Structure 1
Amino acid sequence: MAFSYRLLLGGPSYAAGAESLIIAGATYYEPGVSGPGWAWTDADHLELNGYAGEAIGAEGDLVLTLAGQNSVTESHAPDADITLCGMEAWGNLTLRGTGTLTATGSQCGIHVSQALVVDGCTVDARADGADITDEAVAGVIAGDMAVRGGGRVVAAGAGSGAGVRAYGVYLQDARLGDGVAGCRLSVDAS
């Protein structure tokens, strides 16, 4: 597989709003809900402050503000909607704030179908490759990735299964029909 990388400085934030949110095995369709260490304040905004629990997923774009130390871990539950990643967004995801996020999973720590922006926060994303074969395993899997504002990302993937390809960051063009090429990585003031 051939990769094409283009270096861009800056990069936009994304936030059109999530249609649903999966957190710790429960699915929510309307903002205004919260639990231990998390609050979904409006369609495009989730806040984590000391969250330590199961995977988080968003259907659509999401801005996640981090305060304190937070961790998301793949659930390993056979009926869970998110089973291979710690954090998953089917749209664009912006991580911002002064806190940290540790995301762990089998196939990826963080999976974003479009663009991931890390703005000012610290992210540690890891995948161990457990029970994965014939797939890419990475700390971060995204279409595009921008790190800015002093943000820091540590990403690692590992695995020993047949056909496993391990990466720290794996950029893939998963967009459909928007006419914009993916696989862009930018780092600015970070």
Structure 2
Amino acid sequence: MNTSRLPALRAAAVAAAALAVSCTLTAAAPAAESGATRLTPFTLTSPDFRDGGKLPSWTEFGGPGSEDAPCHGKNLAPQLNWRNAPEGTAGYALLVNDPDAPRAGGWHHWVLYDIPGSASRIDGHGTVQFTQGANSFGPPVVGWGGPCPPATGQPHHYVFTLYALSTPTLPNAGMTYEEVTTAITPYVLGATTIVGTFRLPA
């Protein structure tokens, strides 16, 4: 995998959302330690894959809505954890996009919002939490829509972007990726990303 692409993918994810967040996609807060100041960046991680590494096979798209798709996986989202949210965070939104998909704006795999400011984890693994939005697999497919790239062996990159917001909720259920990016724009305090890859055949 070309890891040099990762910073560009992260920057593209935010640019596509038209959000005024740091180009490094971190929100840092100072903290005293032994008389010095250190940075504590807003950080997103997963116990299921490393940043820039392969997504597990069980994340592959499948189930309801996949009848006409070439993928027939378990369609389970990975667990996500985060720490060091910006001060004033009242809620979060998570957007997952595949910028390698041959579609303007990429392919949207997960739209999740109304995540409480007290949260620090998304369980994944089939657990339904928070408000699930519509993904690019089309109605009525909402929630996690796993990777399903063409069977060319070319890896696709899946950019998980977690936005810290100054609002706890958004106005509607079932919102699309574009609707969420528009709705959160006035409330973004910071953002953090993690990138997974997937290819077929595996």
Q: TM-score, normalised by structure 1?
A: 0.28
Relative to its length, the structure with more helix (as a share) is 2
Give the structure, 1 or 2, with the largest relative contact order (CA under 8 Å, sep 6 or more).
Answer: 2
Q: TM-score, normalised by structure 2?
A: 0.27
In our comparison, the structure showing a higher alpha carbon Rg is 2
Relative to its length, the structure with more strand (as a share) is 1
